[in-house]
Structure 1
Amino acid sequence: MSKKHPSQDELLVKLQMPGPTLNTQPVNSLGAPMVELGIQVTLDKLRAYDRNPRKLRNPKYDEIKESIRAVGLKNPPVITQRPGDDKYMISDGGNTRLQILQELYEETGDKRFYEFYCIYRPWISEAAALAGHLSENETRGDLTWIEKSLGVQALKEQLEAEAGETLPQRELARRAKVLGFALDQSHISRMLHTVEHIWPTLPMTLESGMGQPQIKQLIAYREASLLIWQRCDAKPEDDFGPAWHETLAYFDHEGQTVLPWSLVEDRLLGMLSDETGAHLSPIEHALQTILEYRKRRWSLEEHAEQVWGPLDAEMERLRNPDAPPLDYQPASLTKNSQGGKASSLSNGAGDPLSLVQGKTGEPAYAKEAPGLLPTSRESMETNAGSNRQDSKQEALRREQAVLWRELERLQEESALLQRAPIASTSHTESDSDLDLDGLMPPASDENLEEQWTEEARQQRLDALTVTPHREADSHRRMREMMAREHGGEPIDFENNALRSIPLMAGGPMHPVTDIWAIEAHFQGTRELRLEISLFAQYLGRWAGINMPGDQYKPIIPTHEAGEGLGYTLEPLNEEQAQNRRAQWVWQFLAGLIGEPLHPMYPTDVGLIGELLGTVSDDEGMPDEILVRVFRMVRLMRVLKEQLREGSAS
């Protein structure tokens, strides 16, 4: 039997019947993509990353804004979407661009600032999002040290929350690298230390942009001070943190990026002396020795007697005033045959430090080392007076005051002798005509010192100073000690400037106080190569290469391998080769060490004139760079001579 077909009226009725009821909510938009791709988004569908490590305004904000206003968004930000969120979120940097787009759309109403393309990447995790922002800002070098430190601390907490356990720093560095944020473990250690111990104490200084070199020095001072605190064992270790905070918080100022280190050191020494009861001199000896030994990577345990001898003797005196007198006479600082390390710290003039306990229990320094003297005569008188028991001790106090006055007189005489110029033993008629533009009075056979006025002396110093540099007292004392221990005399700019032709140049690198003279402890082939490589890298930084944080550095030091003249070169990468100054410097450094010049970079003789600023109107090397180039060439010539002598022998 054939099937009956519905009539047209029946079909019409069925078509007009309502469909089944919808039991789910309608979908107004598509879900997030499952793969990376470019998508078009609008401002109302995009939000900033709410855990952005950048806390301060981007210093290039106005420049970026004008660029986007002029040509539109040329570098679309990377976006992602948290699970359950109805909006996209900035990933791997781009919050600044998003804020600028919002401002420009409000100002102009232009649709190109409202709707644009972005690169979408599927969501991975909160830690991956934070690592992406840190990596992006690290690549551009936009973050301050404290911003990056707080970001690393947040990343550590997030990774530990996801792992459900505490992560050691090595594992933290490994997991961050997997997420695309490569950071050395030593950097992580310093950043976490900054957040825990320095951020609460110096917030304004850190927010102003205090950088890694200052942080490293501050950490070194804190660790050394804590070791001294623990060695004295006068108060619980938990009391060190508040004492450190109270001492350093005094130096926190807005807009400051460099600490006054001589004052910081003085305050730390005073705090340690007040809290432990020990005299300033053995504390300063311990502090300077720890800083120097750690800088040289020498073991404090192997040299415990040299580091702690004076302080141990002082603490024994405080704990047991009736104990027999203690003598401490360490050997002078010399290199041993095993490792070339020093066996002790001397006073810089070849004489060992002798710490002898006097009859009254007060320490007397038979031979005072630079930096180990008590701070003032008053402090010594007060210390002696506090232990006054009878008239005999009062007489001793008066005797000490007399000795202090005599010591001060001798120090003043020594300072005058050091400032006095060296009188010439010969004089010619042509010499008398030299005036050096009025900076130096004409020499004469008699009474030369009286002719050198303070005004002329200062004019001469000013004329020979390229960029002023103030050397910390602690650094000067250590440099003088090292020079004398190697059989030479330390270079003193102010004294040498009046009898030779040095130049001073400060800056990010250590200052050049004399172009020609080379101190004894820098005259080994390894030391010369190290110094040459540092100067070459400094010159490279002026040219925009070998910058801190660069993944590719064409100037490669060779002092560890003991080869060449201190460095070798690799060709510039494509981005670096766009910089003409970088090409000039590369060719110049290649010529100094005899490597073939690059055929694609400038090779004509005028290259030297371009660098020195004598050929074109372009800016050549500034004076502080030129001084270092002269010094580098001088070191290369000395190293070359040593290598020739070694080859001949």
Structure 2
Amino acid sequence: MKPVKAADNSSLRDKLLVGQFGTTSPQLSALSDPLEPVQMVRTLDELRPYEHNPRVTKNEKYEEIKESIRNRGLDSPPPITRRPGEQHFIVSNGGNTRLTALNELWQETRDEKYFKIHCLFKPWPKRGDIVALTGHMAENDIRGNLLWIERCLGVAKAKEFYKEEDGGKDISQSELSRRLATDGYPIDRSHISRMEQTLLHLFPFIPNVLWNGMGVDGVRTLLTFRSNAEKAWNKLVQEKGVPANGIDFDQVFSNTLCVYDEEPGGYVFNHFKDDLLGAMTDALRENGVSYELILFEIEVAQDPRQARPLATVAPTSTPETQPPSIVPGQVQETHIPPSTQHPLPPAGNTGGRAGSATVGKSPTPPQEQVLKQVPVLTAVNNEPGSTVVSIPVQAGGLAPVSDIWAIYPQQDSIAAIRNLADLLALEIATWAGVIDFMRSTQDQGLGFTLRRPETFTSAASETTWQLLASLSGNSPAEEIQPVAPDDLAELLIQHLPDDLVIKAFRMIRLARRAKELTGEK
């Protein structure tokens, strides 16, 4: 028998270092997620909030939710999911507020009951982001009101996901409404339209106002006014021409609106409305467009029935009862300023109750709206504490009057007052049948002058002429004769239609302010 040769130490070492046999089986770096919903325990460092959650601002109920978790724990396990191939789980269908509260409680107490959480895992669905987003929106609407702008941005994000599903093809508002409803977040098409307008016309210019809590009612009011103002602008530009500087309505609107974003809490719709009217007037003034004409066109855009031509109230057979109406074609166009080319609405219902503050079918605006529009104030009898703020009324027509006393900042110049008074006098003179004897004079008096007719058709017509000539401030003094008190009283109480009585008192207010501005006594 041969002796066994002793093994070489170096040879043994080399054999031991030879690699293992290879394998062709796939190696798994980690276990795959369950394919069915299952309960599991996860730690806070494994969880992340859903990045497309529409809620950006802090939930107003956050402190209540946090204290509830501190005292009672979680009422139900938060639902979680995970995108394929990602490391962290995300909260689905709400729960981001609870996750934030748990993180704060863990930092404050270091109690592991806040760190290790029982969760309900659900597999990532095929249409994962759409399902997660609509789930978060629905959950937020139930648990705490989303801001209007948060809902707008959430719906816009959902639309992006739907477009990705369709290969980039755009979808209509009706189709978007249908798909959202199918995915558990029903919303009306008109609401979607308003959301898109918010993001297009408002969000770029007043983001802070919207984040400060402007709701759907405030947005609806602002967007409706914008639409009517744009219609008025387009009509006036078509008739009078574009501004010399080429500015368009979008620029006027955005320049006016963005000022309010500097102090979001100070936004008041009536203040913005007056500022926009003033900015539109400034832009179109050189084209012969007045503040009152812009306001009138906006009201027409809001209610087209206001533009319907109706005949002026005709006189009775008795000359002393009411002055005659104008014969068609009798009015010379040279007497009518550029801003009065619209058909005259009815003079009013003379059979109505005397002294009625509201004339015609136009609704009377709430008094508090007028008070917020910062009118120019004048003390009665120069006594402190006896200031008249406003006398809200409603009289339509060529020169609408919504307040007898208030003079808005854009109207508070001698040129603007003369233009307003001229329009008011035009309506009254038309009713009285003396329009042919009236002429605009924007450089003196109250903006118009009258010459005396050789004859009048009635005593009421003559009294009306005397009233207008006296207010004009520049009609020939020798032609103005004293008016008998009884004649003036009969005109105002019996003959003059209700809305023209309102406009006569408005003219008196304008005449008083004009004297203040020109320094006359």
TM range (shorter): 0.5 to 0.7
Match of 1:397 in 2: 444
Kindly tell me: are residues 184 and 352 of structure 1, through their superposed partners in 2, closer, same or farther at Cα, counting changes over 3 Å? closer
How far apart, CA to CA, are the structure 2 residues paired with 1:405 and 1:22?
A: 112
Match of 1:157 in 2: 160
How far apart, CA to CA, are the structure 2 residues paired with 1:76 and 1:199?
A: 37
Matched, 1:249 2:258: yes
1:68-217 maps to which residues of 2 (within 5 A)? Answer: 68-124=69-125, 125-164=128-167, 165-217=169-221
Q: CA shift at 1:167, angstroms?
A: 0.9
SS in 2 for 1:156: helix
1:329-340 maps to which residues of 2 (within 5 A)? Answer: 329-331=344-346
How far apart, CA to CA, are the structure 2 residues paired with 1:395 and 1:200?
A: 41
Does the CA-based 8 Å contact 2:173-2:189 persist in structure 1?
yes
Q: CA shift at 1:44, angstroms?
A: 2.7
Kindly tell me: are residues 126 and 395 of structure 1, through their superposed partners in 2, closer, same or farther at Cα, counting changes over 3 Å? closer
Paired amino acid for 1:115? K
- 1:468-527 CA-to-partner distances (Å, cap 9, x unmatched) read xxxxxxxxxxxxxxxx99xxxxxxxxxxxxxxxxxxxxxxxxxxxxxxxxxxxxxxxxxx
Q: CA shift at 1:276, angstroms?
A: 2.9
How far apart, CA to CA, are the structure 2 residues paired with 1:136 and 1:212?
A: 19
- 1:395-421 CA-to-partner distances (Å, cap 9, x unmatched) read 86224389799599xxxxxxxxxxxxx
Q: CA shift at 1:228, angstroms?
A: 1.0
Matched, 1:263 2:264: no
Q: Indicate which of 235, 254, 269 corresponds to 2:242.
A: 235
Does the CA-based 8 Å contact 2:129-2:161 persist in structure 1?
yes
Does the CA-based 8 Å contact 1:82-1:123 persist in structure 2?
yes
1:276-355 maps to which residues of 2 (within 5 A)? Answer: 276-277=284-285, 278-291=289-302, 293=303, 300=304, 305=308, 326=341, 328-331=343-346, 353=397, 355=398
Kindly tell me: are residues 35 and 376 of structure 1, through their superposed partners in 2, closer, same or farther at Cα, counting changes over 3 Å? same
Q: CA shift at 1:173, angstroms?
A: 0.9
Does the CA-based 8 Å contact 1:377-1:404 persist in structure 2?
no
How far apart, CA to CA, are the structure 2 residues paired with 1:18 and 1:286?
A: 91
Paired amino acid for 1:247? T
Structure 2 gap segments, 5+ residues each: 1-17, 311-331, 350-358, 365-391, 421-438, 450-467, 474-497, 500-521
Q: CA shift at 1:65, angstroms?
A: 1.8
1:34-45 maps to which residues of 2 (within 5 A)? Answer: 34-45=35-46
Q: CA shift at 1:175, angstroms?
A: 0.6
Q: Indicate which of 405, 414, 418 corresponds to 1:378.
A: 414
SS in 2 for 1:206: helix
How far apart, CA to CA, are the structure 1 residues paired with 2:275 and 2:134?
A: 39
**What TM-score, normalized by structure 2, do the two folds share?**
0.58
Q: Give the aligned CA root-mean-square deviation in angstroms.
A: 4.2
Structure 1 gap segments, 5+ residues each: 1-16, 294-299, 308-316, 335-341, 356-364, 385-391, 409-483, 486-649
SS in 2 for 1:151: helix
Does the CA-based 8 Å contact 2:133-2:158 persist in structure 1?
yes
Q: CA shift at 1:383, angstroms?
A: 6.1
Q: CA shift at 1:168, angstroms?
A: 0.7
Kindly tell me: are residues 150 and 371 of structure 1, through their superposed partners in 2, closer, same or farther at Cα, counting changes over 3 Å? farther
SS in 2 for 1:117: strand
Give the % identical residues.
31
Q: CA shift at 1:188, angstroms?
A: 1.4
How far apart, CA to CA, are the structure 1 residues paired with 2:116 and 2:202?
A: 44
Kindly tell me: are residues 166 and 111 of structure 1, through their superposed partners in 2, closer, same or farther at Cα, counting changes over 3 Å? same
Range 102-111 or range 149-158, more displaced: 102-111
Count of residues in Structure 1 that have an aligned counterpart in Structure 2: 349
Kindly tell me: are residues 352 and 31 of structure 1, through their superposed partners in 2, closer, same or farther at Cα, counting changes over 3 Å? closer
- 1:360-415 CA-to-partner distances (Å, cap 9, x unmatched) read xxxxx5xx53369882352336869xxxxxxx97686224389799599xxxxxxx
Q: Indicate which of 374, 388, 401 corresponds to 1:369.
A: 401
SS in 2 for 1:214: helix
SS in 1 for 2:402: coil
**What TM-score, normalized by structure 1, do the two folds share?**
0.47
Does the CA-based 8 Å contact 2:360-2:395 persist in structure 1?
no
How far apart, CA to CA, are the structure 2 residues paired with 1:21 and 1:55?
A: 53
- 1:67-99 CA-to-partner distances (Å, cap 9, x unmatched) read 212222223221111122122111111112112
SS in 2 for 1:370: strand
Paired amino acid for 2:279? M
Kindly tell me: are residues 331 and 399 of structure 1, through their superposed partners in 2, closer, same or farther at Cα, counting changes over 3 Å? closer
Q: CA shift at 1:21, angstroms?
A: 2.5
- 1:330-371 CA-to-partner distances (Å, cap 9, x unmatched) read 24799xxxxxxx998599989762x4xxxxxxxxx5xx5336
Range 201-210 or range 104-113, more displaced: 104-113
SS in 2 for 1:263: helix
Does the CA-based 8 Å contact 1:332-1:350 persist in structure 2?
no
Q: CA shift at 1:186, angstroms?
A: 1.7
Does the CA-based 8 Å contact 1:49-1:89 persist in structure 2?
yes
- 1:215-237 CA-to-partner distances (Å, cap 9, x unmatched) read 11011111111111221224399
SS in 2 for 1:329: coil
Structure of greater Rg? 2
Does the CA-based 8 Å contact 2:360-2:396 persist in structure 1?
no
Does the CA-based 8 Å contact 1:273-1:279 persist in structure 2?
yes
- 1:620-639 CA-to-partner distances (Å, cap 9, x unmatched) read xxxxxxxxxxxxxxxxxxxx
Kindly tell me: are residues 323 and 135 of structure 1, through their superposed partners in 2, closer, same or farther at Cα, counting changes over 3 Å? closer
How far apart, CA to CA, are the structure 2 residues paired with 1:81 and 1:382?
A: 72
Does the CA-based 8 Å contact 2:36-2:122 persist in structure 1?
yes
SS in 2 for 1:170: helix
Kindly tell me: are residues 24 and 94 of structure 1, through their superposed partners in 2, closer, same or farther at Cα, counting changes over 3 Å? farther
1:371-450 maps to which residues of 2 (within 5 A)? Answer: 375-376=411-412, 378-380=414-416, 397-400=444-447, 406=471
Kindly tell me: are residues 239 and 157 of structure 1, through their superposed partners in 2, closer, same or farther at Cα, counting changes over 3 Å? farther
- 1:4-45 CA-to-partner distances (Å, cap 9, x unmatched) read xxxxxxxxxxxxx99752456743543122223322222232
SS in 2 for 1:231: helix
Does the CA-based 8 Å contact 1:42-1:115 persist in structure 2?
yes
Matched, 1:272 2:280: yes
- 1:160-206 CA-to-partner distances (Å, cap 9, x unmatched) read 12223111111101111111111122221111111111111111111
How far apart, CA to CA, are the structure 1 residues paired with 2:182 and 2:216?
A: 25
Does the CA-based 8 Å contact 2:299-2:306 persist in structure 1?
no
SS in 2 for 1:328: coil
